[in-house]
Amino acid sequence: MSTAPKNKVPDSVFAMRIEGPSPEVDVSLDLVKRGLMAAPVLVAICAVIWGGDGAWSALYGIALILVNFALSAGLIAGTARISLGLMMGAILFGYLIRLGLVFIAVLLVRDASWISLPALGATIIITHLGLLGWELKYLAISLAHPGLKPTHH
C-alpha cells in the first residue's frame, strides 16, 4: 500500500491532467448548432448553382465538417482528463487523422452519381471557415471565462 499523498504534484507537467468543465465541448456543440442553422442556406445555394447533386453534396459536406468539429472536441476533452502530454499528442495527430478521414470520405464518394465535387469542395471550405469565423463572435477568449462568453440574463 502506497503512503504517498493523494494530492501529490506530478513530477512532470505532461503527466498532469485537467479536471472540471470542458469548454471545447461547449464550443463544439455551439459550432454544430450554428452549422445546422446555416445548413438550409448552404444547401439552397448549392441547389441553385449545381442542382440536386449540389444539394446532396452540400448536405454531405456539412455533415463531414460538423462531425469533424465534434470529434476534435471529444479528443481534447477525453485526453485532457488523462494527461496533458496525451492531449497534446491527440491534438496534433488527431488533426492529421481527422484530415485523413475527410480525405477518405471525399475519396469514397468522388465517383458517385449524386455528388458534385465543386459543390462538395466549396461547402467543405465555406462551412469550415465560415463556422470558425462566426463562432469568434461568441467566444470569451479569456482565462476568466474559457470557451463561450457568459450570457447575461
**Residue 148 bridge partners (DSSP):** 139
Q: Report the pLDDT value the prediction gives residue 141, as an integer from 0 to 100.
A: 72
| Alpha carbon distances (Å) from 151 to 34, 80, 148 | 17, 26, 9
d(CA 128, CA 34): 11
Rg (CA), the chain: 20
Q: Is the pTM of this model over 0.85?
A: no
Q: Report the pLDDT value the prediction gives residue 10, as an integer from 0 to 100.
A: 55
Query: Using an 8 Å Cβ cutoff, are 144 and 55 in contact?
Result: no
Q: Report the pLDDT value the prediction gives residue 111, as an integer from 0 to 100.
A: 94
**How many C-beta neighbours within 10 Å does residue 137 have?**
8
**Residue 139 bridge partners (DSSP):** 148
Q: Report the pLDDT value the prediction gives residue 7, as an integer from 0 to 100.
A: 58
Spell out the domain ranges in the chain: 23-136
Predicted confidence pLDDT, tens digits, the chain (153 residues):
555 555 555 566 666 666 767 788 888 888 999 999 999 999 999 999 999 999 999 999 999 999 999 999 889 888 888 888 888 899 899 999 999 999 999 999 999 999 999 999 999 999 999 998 988 888 877 666 677 776 765
**Identity of the residue numbered 89:** G
Backbone angles phi, psi at 139, to 5 degrees: -90, 140
